[in-house]
Amino acid sequence: MPDSMPQLTLHDSRRRATVPFAPLDPGNVRVYYCGPTVYDLAHIGNLRAMMTADILVRLLRHLYPHVTYVRNITDVDDKINARARANGETIDSLTARTIRDFHDDLAAVGVLPPDVEPRATRHIAEMIALIECLIASGHAYEAQGHVLFAVARFPDYGALSGRSPDDLLAGARVEVAPYKRDAGDFVLWKPSEPGLPGWESPWGRGRPGWHIECSAMSHRYLGESFDIHGGGSDLLFPHHENELAQSQCCFPRGRFANHWVHNAMLLVNGEKMSKSLGNFLTIRDVLADTPAEALRLMLLHAQYRSVLNFTRAGLDEAKQTLNRFYRAVGDLPPDAAGPVPGAVVAAMCDDLNTPRALAEMHGLADRALAGDRGAARGLRAAGRLLGLLGQSADTWFRAGAGVGEAEIDALIAERLAARAARDFARADAIRAGLAERGIVLEDGAGGTIWRRA
């Protein structure tokens, strides 16, 4: 590791502090992220978690010689069973299609695939082994075909999410299943009725609970202790708390995850995204009229631990930024990147401070637009670190990718108004600005029409 290498600091949810990141093995940094439950298209809140993982892993790969990034797929779940039945299709067809769509959507936004993408249904034996270990050590019990984790047997339960036993009781003030000793006990294994996915086990034919899947798959590919476990803040409790409890009780000498990374939630127009509010957006909904790179850049506008407010104005701003960056790199091809400028690496090492990294890129663009080729190469390199600017400027502008139809219509209306007000300088500036972005205006008897050049 060169002396000049910047120190990465990351917020750790367990320590509730931003601390220097020190890998257990600098020769192989190990990262686990909870992947999707595959019953529907990924939404932009899911994307924010996958993007946080993506920029974290990209940075780790820049800093360390080798990174092992594991992101699982949950392909056995009650939601999957219910959706397949509602759709009138088989579970295999639903999960296969959803996994394909998930991969396509993430690839469109430049999210790199993990090194290992284990599927829960292919690791049932590992889950059964962990559950047997928990029963043997007195941390789990069998009741009415179910196996439950006994939270009372793990004194550290609640330490990760910072919940007190009282909070936990309040959270569990719902009808408690009769087979539970304690309201907070959670399912490791449950019986499966005929017609639903199930596997033979010491407790009869059944299927695993969600939490044990991640404990089993992270152990299989990353061992008893690994460096970083991440996911959305909505996973902190109960999912991650339960994963930690299971793994710590099975492997008391290990630490499970050394460092916990959680991204904040995403709002849409200032409100929590929900189907009932009509502001629920899948990745595909956004990509229908927005270049994927603009969506990616917009998700970097906020540091991952800040709430991100998704708006059309934010997407437009991202498009304008990309127009500016691509003008600044000019004819420099994507592979002509120089070293990543130190200020950009330093910003990313500051707990993935993407707003600061983008501000540094604007500074590089200033210099590049003033004719500094070195700054243009630095901008290309910074783009590569953040998964941006992967195409030639010509391709970006020729696709008219930076301009959406609504924006063009608005600019045409603004130009018309400017002409009516005899502000011909403004009208000409709008036409020239669009031309620079590959949009040609043609005035005719019927009004103004536009086409992509």
Task: Please give the annotated binding residues for ATP, written as ranges.
Answer: 275
- Name which of 212 and 385 has its Cβ closer to Zn ion: 212
Indicate the annotated binding residues: 34, 214, 239, 243, 275
Compute the least distance from the CB of residue 160 to Zn ion, in Å: 13
Compute the least distance from the CB of residue 437 to Zn ion, in Å: 43
- Name which of 135 and 214 has its Cβ closer to Zn ion: 214
Indicate the annotated binding residues for Zn(2+): 34, 214, 239, 243
Q: Which amino acid is at 120?
A: A
Beta-ladder partners of 18: 11
Compute the least distance from the CB of residue 116 to Zn ion, in Å: 14
End-to-end Cα distance, the chain? 49
Compute the least distance from the CB of residue 218 to Zn ion, in Å: 8
- Name which of 34 and 124 has its Cβ closer to Zn ion: 34
- Torsion (CA) 401, 403, 409, 411 in degrees, nearest 10: -150
Are the C-beta atoms of residues 362 and 300 closer than 8 Å to each other? no
Compute the least distance from the CB of residue 248 to Zn ion, in Å: 15
Q: Report DSSP state, residue 401.
A: T
Q: Give the span between the Cα atoms of 267 and 262, in whole angstroms.
A: 16
C-alpha separations of 419 from 413, 435, 438 in Å: 10, 18, 22
Q: Give the span between the Cα atoms of 395 and 125, in whole angstroms.
A: 49
- Name which of 201 and 246 has its Cβ closer to Zn ion: 246
- In the block, tokens 């130009």 appear at 415
- Name which of 56 and 375 has its Cβ closer to Zn ion: 56
Q: Give the span between the Cα atoms of 205 and 275, in whole angstroms.
A: 35
Compute the least distance from the CB of residue 239 to Zn ion, in Å: 5
Compute the least distance from the CB of residue 291 to Zn ion, in Å: 32
Q: Which amino acid is at 322?
A: L
- Name which of 71 and 139 has its Cβ closer to Zn ion: 71
- Name which of 34 and 376 has its Cβ closer to Zn ion: 34
Query: What does the block give as tokens for 153?
Result: 């047997």
- Name which of 236 and 364 has its Cβ closer to Zn ion: 236
Beta-ladder partners of 228: 31, 259
Q: Give the span between the Cα atoms of 308 and 298, in whole angstroms.
A: 9
Choose the binding region for Zn ion from 31-39, 138-146, 283-291, 415-423 (rule: CB under 5 A). 31-39
- Name which of 34 and 302 has its Cβ closer to Zn ion: 34
CB neighbours of residue 46 within 10 Å: 21
Choose the binding region for Zn ion from 16-24, 28-36, 83-91, 97-105 (rule: CB under 5 A). 28-36
Q: Give the span between the Cα atoms of 235 and 150, in whole angstroms.
A: 20
Compute the least distance from the CB of residue 20 to Zn ion, in Å: 25
Does 50 interact with Zn ion (rule: CB under 5 A)? no
Map residues 176-215 to x or -, x wherever contact with Zn ion holds by CB under 5 A.
Answer: --------------------------------------x-
Compute the least distance from the CB of residue 293 to Zn ion, in Å: 29
Beta-ladder partners of 260: 229
C-alpha separations of 162 from 12, 16, 167, 250, 306 in Å: 12, 9, 10, 22, 19
Q: Give the span between the Cα atoms of 54 and 57, in whole angstroms.
A: 5
CB neighbours of residue 174 within 10 Å: 7
Size of site (CB under 5 A) for Zn ion? 2
Query: What does the block give as tokens for 421?
Result: 């007000």
- Tell which one of 10, 31, 34, 412 touches Zn ion (CB under 5 A): 34
Site for Zn ion in 353-382 (CB under 5 A): none
Give the residue from 285, 235, 263 showing the smallest Cα distance to 105: 285
Contact residues toward Zn ion (CB under 5 A) are 34, 214
